[in-house]
Amino acid sequence: QPASTGESHTVSMDSARRGRSMPAARRSGFDYLIVGAGFAGSVLAERLASQANKRVLVIDRRPHIGGNAYDCFDDGGVLMHRYGPHIFHTNAQRIFDYLSKFTRWRPYEHRVLADVDRQLVPIPINQTTINKLYGLDLDEAGVAQFLAGRATALDDIRTSEDVVISQVGQELYEKFFRGYTRKQWGLDPSQLDKAVTARVPTRTNADDRYFGDSFQFMPLHGYTRMFENMLDHPNIRIMVNTDFEDIRNDVHYDHLIYSGPIDEFFDYRFGKLPYRSLRFQHETLDQEWFQPVAVVNYPSQDVPYTRITEYKHLTGQVHGKTSLTYEYPSAEGDPYYPIPREENQVLYKQYRELADKTPNVSFVGRLGTYRYYNMDQVVGQAITLFNKLIDTQNGEAQD
Ligand code: FAD
Ligand code: UDP
């Protein structure tokens, strides 16, 4: 028995515009309209449909589900990520367990090398990095001493520059972080919140994994397959190639969940929230391998891209060809990264306050809540929102 129905759910949308035709349901209309079929939207759709028996319409303006985590086979037959490399990592058992309902996993520990001083050395900076760059043979204690001797003591660590120079000093900061960050964000690290470069640790041992999390995996058959499984429920309808603007006046629903950019939703009323974009240059080479690890970072400002990804390292696919993506940061284009700095948070807060006053709409996800979130954090945020929506509804039912 559906939890709620009613006249207000009538869908008056022209069926020809539906993209995918909707089966003639006895009930029409939706309990929830979800904008965005990425992690935020898909997790909410799955929870609402399967746990609360809600009827859900998920739309996305892109031609596919999965949001930025979308993967597909390219023309050469190599599985690649359309929007840059996505590696799943988390410390949260419950998030790993939740996603495990929709995919099996391939154990994968991410390793990254940086092209510095014409050598490929591990990033995060570790024992091997120091020994290779400086022609040394230090043990762990020796590396700790080496870094302590170079680190700049700071009372107050506020910016992304402070974080790094307080750990490794000016020279290593310039070699690994300053140029990369200026390219990636179009800002100097001194203009960015400390949380940005704090994502990358410094190590004195030889651990060369990019992430320290207890769960590090890739979905065995890719992200898109995982999303297909997540959204495969009779209560869920999906329309791709559909912008919210196209249908906002046609579809009837009780509640809207919006995972697009929050400033766009409010017609940029307080001004544009800055997002950083990327241009992805994909290529397939007629050779088996290109580089020794999945990602090589290029911190130098002499090259315009930040990193090159070679997907077969991530996916484990066996293929005679190999596919790569070069990432060129850009101010224009699709919004990929909220830019963590104080003045942007102030602007976001204005939108947040407006959002809190807007009835029957919930904002979620990296763009909807303007947070530099990883996939696992977005999943956690979406599950929390689901619990809140259901609690609120149960509360209202009891009133
Ligand atoms: P999105 O995936 O952006 O989904 C939002 C969707 O909403 C989009 O598909 C968009 O088309 C749609 N949409 C927006 N507005 C509208 C509208 N008006 N109408 C219709 N549809 C709309 N995280 C990790 O954990 N590990 C990684 O290795 C990792 N690597 C990354 C690499 C890159 C280059 C980038 C950019 C991100 C990476 N992330 C990674 C972060 C990860 O992509 C995000 O945390 C996650 O995908 C966010 O999910 P989301 O649903 O919030 O947003
Ligand atoms: N960073 C850097 N040099 C590197 C790697 C990272 O300066 O070799 C900085 C840069 O500012 C980057 C941030 O650390 O944006 C976070 O890096 P991460 O790899 O987590 O970025 P993402 O994968 O989210 O793009």
Q: What residue ranges line ligand 1, CB within 6 angstroms?
A: 35-41, 59-62, 67-69, 83-87, 243-244, 259-260, 278, 336, 365-367, 373-376, 378
Residues 163, 225 within the same domain: no
- Give the number of the ligand closest to the Cα of residue 265: 1
Measure 32 CA to ligand 1 centroid, in angstroms.
20
User: Which ligand 1 atom lies nearest to the CA of residue 69?
Assistant: 47
Q: In the chain, count of helices (H) and strands (E)?
A: 13, 17
Measure 231 CA to ligand 2 centroid, in angstroms.
32
The pLDDT score that the predictor gives to residue 28 is: 64
For the beta carbon of residue 207, count every other beta carbon within 10 angstroms. Answer: 14
Residues 52, 182 within the same domain: no
Compute the distance between CA of residue 105 and CA of residue 232 in angstroms, rounded to an integer: 19
Residues 182, 225 within the same domain: no
- Is 111:310 a contact under the CB 8 Å cutoff? no
Residues 64, 125 within the same domain: no
- Is 334:367 a contact under the CB 8 Å cutoff? no
The pLDDT score that the predictor gives to residue 24 is: 41
Q: What are phi and psi of 131, to 5 degrees?
A: -65, -40
What's the domain range around 167?
112-199
Four-residue CA torsion sign, 96, 196, 324, 65: positive
User: Which ligand 1 atom lies nearest to the CA of residue 367?
Assistant: 52
Residues 260, 344 within the same domain: yes
Residues 262, 346 within the same domain: yes
- Is 47:32 a contact under the CB 8 Å cutoff? no
Residue after which a domain boundary falls, among 199, 229, 249:
199
Residues 240, 376 within the same domain: yes
The pLDDT score that the predictor gives to residue 27 is: 47
The pLDDT score that the predictor gives to residue 20 is: 42
- The answer to whether position 369 is within a domain reads yes
For the beta carbon of residue 282, count every other beta carbon within 10 angstroms. Answer: 16
Q: Whose CA is nearest to atom 2 of ligand 1?
A: 67
2 closest CA partner among 30, 21, 23: 30
Residues 236, 371 within the same domain: yes
The pLDDT score that the predictor gives to residue 394 is: 86
Q: How many domains does the chain have?
A: 2
- Is 7:253 a contact under the CB 8 Å cutoff? no
Measure 69 CA to ligand 1 centroid, in angstroms.
6
Per-residue confidence of the chain (399 residues) as pLDDT tens digits? 333 333 333 333 333 334 344 444 434 689 999 999 999 999 999 999 999 999 999 999 999 999 999 999 999 999 999 999 999 999 999 999 999 999 999 999 999 999 999 999 999 999 999 999 999 999 999 999 999 999 999 999 999 999 999 999 999 999 999 999 999 999 999 999 999 999 999 999 999 999 999 999 999 999 999 999 999 999 999 999 999 999 999 999 999 999 999 999 999 999 999 999 999 999 999 999 999 999 999 999 999 999 999 999 999 999 999 999 999 999 999 999 999 999 999 999 999 999 999 999 999 999 999 999 999 999 999 999 999 999 988 888 777
Compute the distance between CA of residue 117 and CA of residue 298 in angstroms, rounded to an integer: 11
Contacts of 134 (CB under 8 A, 6+ apart): 146
Compute the distance between CA of residue 201 and CA of residue 257 in angstroms, rounded to an integer: 35
The pLDDT score that the predictor gives to residue 17 is: 38
Q: What residue ranges line ligand 2, CB within 6 angstroms?
A: 114, 123, 176-177, 180-181, 184, 196-197, 199-200, 297, 299
Residues 245, 188 within the same domain: no
Residues 224, 175 within the same domain: no
**Which run of H or E residues covers position 386?**
helix 375-398
The pLDDT score that the predictor gives to residue 6 is: 30
- The answer to whether position 280 is within a domain reads no
169: left (phi over 0), alpha (psi -120 to 50) or beta: left
R_g (Cα) of the chain, nearest Å: 23
Q: Domain containing 356 — which CATH number?
A: 3.40.50.720
Cis peptide before 124 (omega within 30 of 0): yes
Residues 192, 130 within the same domain: yes
For the beta carbon of residue 223, count every other beta carbon within 10 angstroms. Answer: 25
At residue 324, the 3 state secondary structure works out as: strand
- Give the number of the ligand closest to the Cα of residue 193: 2
- Give the number of the ligand closest to the Cα of residue 337: 1
Cα dihedral 178, 179, 185, 190, rounded to 10, equals 20
